[in-house]
Amino acid sequence: MLDHIRQSYLNTSPSDDPVREVMRKLPQPIVEHYIEKTKLKHAAVMIGITQSEENELSVLLTKRTSHLKHHAGEISLPGGSFDDSQDRNITMTALRESEEEIGLDREQSELIGYVSPQVSLGTGFIVTPIVSLIPKDFLPTLNRDEVEEVFEVPISFLLNRNSLHNERRIYDQIEWTVYSYNYLDHMIWGLTAQILRKFSGLIAHKDEKTA
């Protein structure tokens, strides 16, 4: 499976213009009533792939602390806002934020590729997800100001089409599709679910083409 994931993301790269890229893909009402009226801020997250001793693959997720001003208690991927005083590029944003949140040294993970940029509904962020392989011996050190816990979701669960749910919701008079996964006692929804959907979708698509 790991070789298959590497092959799926072999030729991916960060977008030169994430805003223009999402504008080409999103429905016109969303572009006109949200994207064109919002000065989107850049951010990045890490889809960190972990390996068990039996080489089963999972994605590492975090639960945000309950006292945060935004998205308190929600499930997320390690990441945050681009900081032009610290980050040479958007990849560095994901690496720096992962180091700050879960103690993953930026030299430890192996970059595998990139998921296409995604818009964070209602927050004004456009997010670039990077895919990285985390070493087997990695032990998280949590920043308790931001992260309450970490857990792993098997990639096999994400690839199961029955795991993904969706519903239509209205935000600011705009209709959006909101995705979600229910894994054990965790509700993974919104942007995080959308990113995981895109991540697993490319793997599944590559698998179908080579079958």
pLDDT for 70 equals 60
The answer to whether residue 77 is domain-embedded is yes
The reply to whether the predicted model has a pTM over 0.85 is yes
**pLDDT confidence bin for 137, thresholds 50/70/90:** very high
The answer to whether residue 191 is domain-embedded is no
The answer to whether residue 197 is domain-embedded is no
The share of the chain scoring above pLDDT 70, in percent, equals 95
* DSSP helix/strand/coil, 199: helix
The answer to whether residue 46 is domain-embedded is yes
Residue-wise pLDDT for 1-34, tens only, equals 999 999 999 999 999 999 999 999 998 888 988 8
Q: Is 122 or 140 the better-scoring residue by pLDDT?
A: 140
The answer to whether residue 168 is domain-embedded is no
Mean pLDDT of the chain: 92
The burial class, CB within 10 Å (0-12 / 13-18 / 19+), for 68 is middle
What is the number of domains present in the chain? Answer: 1
CATH number, domain containing residue 104: 3.90.79.10
What CA–CA distance (Å, rounded) separates 87 from 211? 40
Question: Could you tell me the residue range of the domain that residue 35 belongs to?
Answer: 2-157
What CA–CA distance (Å, rounded) separates 181 from 203? 18
* Mean pLDDT, rounded, for 113-132: 94
* Mean pLDDT, rounded, for 130-134: 98
Cβ atoms of residues 93 and 43 within 8 Å: yes
What CA–CA distance (Å, rounded) separates 197 from 179? 8
pLDDT for 53 equals 87
* Mean pLDDT, rounded, for 107-116: 96
Lowest mean pLDDT among 41-50, 115-124, 143-152, 201-210: 201-210
What CA–CA distance (Å, rounded) separates 142 from 148? 8
The answer to whether residue 62 is domain-embedded is yes
- List the one residue out of 119, 117, 127, 8 whose CA is nearest residue 57: 8
- List the one residue out of 155, 110, 152 whose CA is nearest residue 132: 110
Cβ atoms of residues 87 and 3 within 8 Å: no
Q: Is the pLDDT of residue 159 over 80?
A: yes
Hey, which bits of the chain come out as E strands?
41-51, 57-64, 75-76, 79-81, 110-114, 118-120, 125-133, 147-154, 164-171, 174-183, 186-189
Q: Is the pLDDT of residue 209 over 80?
A: no
pLDDT for 71 equals 56
pLDDT for 210 equals 56
Please name the helix (run of DSSP H) or strand (run of DSSP E) that holds residue 8, with its range, or none: helix 2-8
| 176 beta partners | 169
Residue-wise pLDDT for 51-107, tens only, equals 998 889 999 999 999 776 665 689 999 999 999 999 999 999 999 999 999 999 999
- List the one residue out of 188, 137, 171, 155 whose CA is nearest residue 49: 155
The answer to whether residue 205 is domain-embedded is no
The answer to whether residue 35 is domain-embedded is yes
